[in-house]
Amino acid sequence: MDRNPVVFTSSTAALESAPATNKVLRNTYLLLSATLAFSALVAGISYALGLPYLGPWVTLIGYFALVFAVSKTADRAAGLFWVFALTGFMGYTLGPILSFYVKAIPDGHTVVMMAFGITAIAFAGLSAFAILSGRRFNFMGGFLTVGILTAFVLAIIALVFSLPALALAVSGMFVLLMAGLILYQTGEIVHGGETNYIHATVTLYVSIYNLFTSLLHLLGVSSDD
């Protein structure tokens, strides 16, 4: 008899948490779709107008400043403004990158479309696996944090000392790390570990952006004679 209230209470809690989890998941994917579309629009405009690349240092400073703004406003309506500011800024930076690959490689358009296709398939597959498997990937949190920080430091070293081989290795690292981050973040949303859809959207957007640009680098090098 003592067990019944415990079972009833835990079952009730699970039932009550399910709508909240579904709401976070739904809001995350709605906002992610909107930000990806907006970012793609800005990237297309940047590409079509031939707008200049801001350079890696300006890009990094702008990125971290906007991420900071998002983190400070994620619990308020203003957070939505900063999410679109961040994704629009990243879209702008993507335009000159796409222009460079299209012009520098004979089959540049094909490389860009391949990178886009692989990114889309990878994101859809990883997200579906995280949602349908019922598994939680929180055990990956520490590894991903250390891995991303390490890859970021190596990327800075490759940039400062002009080391193409190291930059290529870093791109390979980012492909694996971003795939893991998509699994981790989606699993956290599904299991209630992430309750803020703005934070979740930014994490997934950055994962997709880095996955795409890393694949673009790898495919571009392999296609460049």
Does a structural domain hold residue 181?
Answer: yes
What span, in angstroms and rounded, lies between the C-alpha atoms of 145 and 214? Answer: 18
Share of the chain above pLDDT 90, in %: 84
Does a structural domain hold residue 3?
Answer: no
Does a structural domain hold residue 13?
Answer: no
pLDDT digits (tens, 9 = 90+) for 140-152: 999 999 999 999 9
**Residue 12: its pLDDT value, please?**
41
**Residue 18: its pLDDT value, please?**
66
Does a structural domain hold residue 1?
Answer: no
On whether the CB atoms of residues 165 and 191 are closer than 8 A, the answer is no
Stretch 158-178: mean pLDDT: 96
Stretch 23-49: mean pLDDT: 97
On whether the CB atoms of residues 165 and 174 are closer than 8 A, the answer is no
Residue with tokens 């019944």: 4
Stretch 15-36: mean pLDDT: 85
Stretch 78-84: mean pLDDT: 97
Q: Judge whether residue 56 has pLDDT over 60.
A: yes
- Residues making up the chain, counted from first to last: 225
**Residue 8: its pLDDT value, please?**
38
Q: Judge whether residue 154 has pLDDT over 80.
A: yes
Alpha-carbon distance values, 11 to 51, 92, 218 (Å): 56, 48, 48
Does a structural domain hold residue 157?
Answer: yes
**Residue 80: its pLDDT value, please?**
97
Which distant-in-sequence residues (6+ apart) come within 8 Å of 221 by Cβ? 168
If one compares 20 and 161, the residue with the highest pLDDT of the two is 161
Q: Judge whether residue 128 has pLDDT over 60.
A: yes
DSSP class per residue in 110-147: HHHHHHHHHHHHHHHHHHHHHHHH----GGGHHHHHHH
On whether the CB atoms of residues 185 and 204 are closer than 8 A, the answer is yes
pLDDT digits (tens, 9 = 90+) for 9-23: 444 444 445 677 789
Q: Which domain holds residue 136?
A: 18-223
Does a structural domain hold residue 6?
Answer: no
If one compares 225 and 219, the residue with the highest pLDDT of the two is 219
pLDDT band at 134 (very low <50, low <70, confident <90, very high): confident
- Report the Cα 36 to chain-centroid distance in Å: 10
Q: Across all residues in the chain, what is the average pLDDT?
A: 91
Count of domains observed in the chain: 1
Does a structural domain hold residue 210?
Answer: yes
**Residue 222: its pLDDT value, please?**
81
**Residue 155: its pLDDT value, please?**
96
Q: Judge whether residue 2 has pLDDT over 80.
A: no
pLDDT digits (tens, 9 = 90+) for 186-207: 999 999 999 999 999 999 999 9
If one compares 91 and 8, the residue with the highest pLDDT of the two is 91
**Residue 173: its pLDDT value, please?**
97
On whether the CB atoms of residues 50 and 103 are closer than 8 A, the answer is no
Q: Judge whether residue 89 has pLDDT over 90.
A: yes
The two tokens of residue 154 are 């190596």
Does a structural domain hold residue 171?
Answer: yes
